Amino acid sequence: MAGARTPPSILLTGFEPFGGERVNPSALVAHALHGEHIGGWPVTSLVLPCVFGEAIAALEQALATQRPALVIALGQAGGREAVTVERIAVNRDDARIPDNADVQPLDRAVVPGAPTAYFSRLPVKAMVAALQADGVSAAESLSAGSFVCNHLFYGLMHALRRRRSVQAGFVHLPWLPEQVAERPGAFALPLDTQVGAVRGLLATALQWRGRGDLQRVGGTLD
């Protein structure tokens, strides 16, 4: 119909495998949710290169063409024992290993001259509480690391600095069972559990849209 408005949309991103891994749960989860409708909003998924600079460039292009109202970037945090919703992106690249283009920045700003950090615009506490209520291991996180995940998280928030109405943030996912076959005792979550968890996170973000966040203690002493 002429003049009909395009409904708000969701952009969900993941990363290609890195560090010698054959899979990355963030990419598989993003693929699984592509084309779904959550809260009536269509989900478009994008798998990004695990490369400094290139990941942000690809994300910025998607933001410009799709203009989503909710953006959640996913990444892998092998070794963590929960789905972790990040609270802060810092303006610092300090890579322990090279990225997939063999680039290894040391103590470099993500965006020179930009703010030291940006906070997530997601209802972090509400999202974590919702997953925990569903029996999924979930936690808040105050550090997205200093590799391409934090790099992208910072780039996302910087790109949206003037688009204040857009909900945006970053979520780290643990290893999949097949990734811990040779890592005895390491924590893992099955793919279907991770897909359901991210679907729930998206739904919770929409439920809390414009309402701030759940007021509960979420800090740690370490």
Question: Do 70 and 163 meet the contact criterion of CB atoms below 8 Å apart?
Answer: no
Close Cβ partners of 39 (under 8 Å, ≥ 6 residues apart): 202, 203, 206, 207
Tokens of 43: 């989900």
| Backbone CA torsion sign across 194, 196, 200, 203 | positive
**Cα–Cα dist 33/131, whole Å:** 17
Active site residue 86: yes
pLDDT bracket for residue 199 (50, 70, 90):
very high
pLDDT value for 108? 98
Percent of the chain with pLDDT over 90: 91
130 secondary structure, DSSP code? H
Average pLDDT, the chain: 95
**Cα–Cα dist 151/146, whole Å:** 7
- Span 74-100, pLDDT tens digits: 999 999 999 999 999 999 999 999 999
pLDDT value for 1? 45
Tokens of 138: 């979930």
Tokens of 15: 């990363």
> Looking at 50, 86, 151, 158, which residue is catalytic?
86
pLDDT bracket for residue 216 (50, 70, 90):
confident
Q: What is the CA radius of gyration of the chain?
A: 17
pLDDT value for 86? 98
pLDDT bracket for residue 117 (50, 70, 90):
very high
Question: Do 120 and 70 meet the contact criterion of CB atoms below 8 Å apart?
Answer: no
> Looking at 50, 151, 158, 172, which residue is catalytic?
172
Query: What average pLDDT does range 149-169 have in this prediction?
Result: 97
DSSP assignments along 61-129, one per residue? HHHHHH--SEEEEEEE-TT-SSEEEE-EEES-B--SS--TTS----SB-SSTTS-SEEE--S-HHHHHH
> Looking at 50, 140, 149, 158, which residue is catalytic?
149
Active site residue 149: yes
- Span 33-47, pLDDT tens digits: 999 999 999 999 999
pLDDT value for 6? 66
pLDDT bracket for residue 5 (50, 70, 90):
low
Active site residue 16: no
Name all domains of the chain by residue range, CATH numbers in brackets: 10-207 (3.40.630.20)
Q: By mean pLDDT, which of 3-7, 128-132, 176-180, 190-194 is the weakest?
A: 3-7
